[in-house]
Amino acid sequence: MAPLLTATTAPRRSRGTRRITLIAHLVSSLGWLGLDMVLLTLGTHAATHSGDRHTDYLTVRLLLNTLLLPLSLSSIGTGLLLMRLGPWLFRRDHWATAKLVISTAAAAAAWLALRPQADQAVAATARPGDPGSLFATLHSPGPTLIIAPTVACALYLTATVLGVVKPGRGRRRRRLNRVSQRDAAGNESGHDASPSRNHSHQERQS
């Protein structure tokens, strides 16, 4: 009885683990997307309301320092675990590879490039007066804190579409169906031919 119980409970445990991992992946991914939407809102508000810039940039820096790494690493980690628990493979399902590359590149760019810009914006607005260096060029902190969250939102939406649509899954399913149909047809022809071979063998014996 022990092997039977182990065999029946293992798939249930695997399905439960995959369900929990999927929920964690959805929560962290949606939280990551929501974080970038909030950053975009704060950056736009700071550009159009000079009196609130210091508060806005302080909030941007706080969100980047506290939520970016937990949400991004959780999203990437649970996505890799789902690949391990599910039927997908990186070398075969290219949408999964593209989604991983997008998420990893976006997290690295936000942590290495966006945080220093937020620090510069906070330092520039801490002093009284209008810091013209904030919006001097497109690479200045002000435009960067608008453009970068916009690009990040587009990337995360693309990754979400890839995860839902899974391009190529339909072609692989049709290919597997054709193979199974061909194997079934071969088995049927083999069964049909065996009675005739037996009949001819009996005639030769008679």
Task: Give the range among 50-54, 161-165, 187-191 with minimum mean pLDDT.
Answer: 187-191
d(CA 160, CA 47): 29
Average pLDDT over residues 167-192: 56
Q: Are 37 and 87 in contact (CB under 8 A)?
A: no
d(CA 65, CA 202): 85
What residues does each domain of the chain span?
2-167, 169-206
Q: Return the C-alpha torsion angle 162, 78, 24, 113, nearest 10.
A: -80
Give residue 104's identity as a one-letter amino acid code.
T
Band of pLDDT at residue 54, cut at 50, 70 and 90: very high
Q: Which long-range contacts does 7-10 make (Cβ < 8 Å, 24+ apart)?
A: none
Average pLDDT over residues 49-69: 94
The pLDDT, as a whole number, for residue 177 is 55
pLDDT > 70 fraction of the chain, expressed in percent and rounded: 73
The pLDDT, as a whole number, for residue 5 is 47
pTM: 0.73
- Looking at per-residue pLDDT, the higher value among 8 and 47 belongs to 47
User: Which pLDDT tens digit goes with each residue over 76-95?
Assistant: 999 999 888 888 787 788 88
**For residues 16-44, b (16+ Cβ closer than 10 Å) or e, as one string?**
eeeeebbebbeebbeebbebbeebbebbe
Average pLDDT over residues 12-29: 86
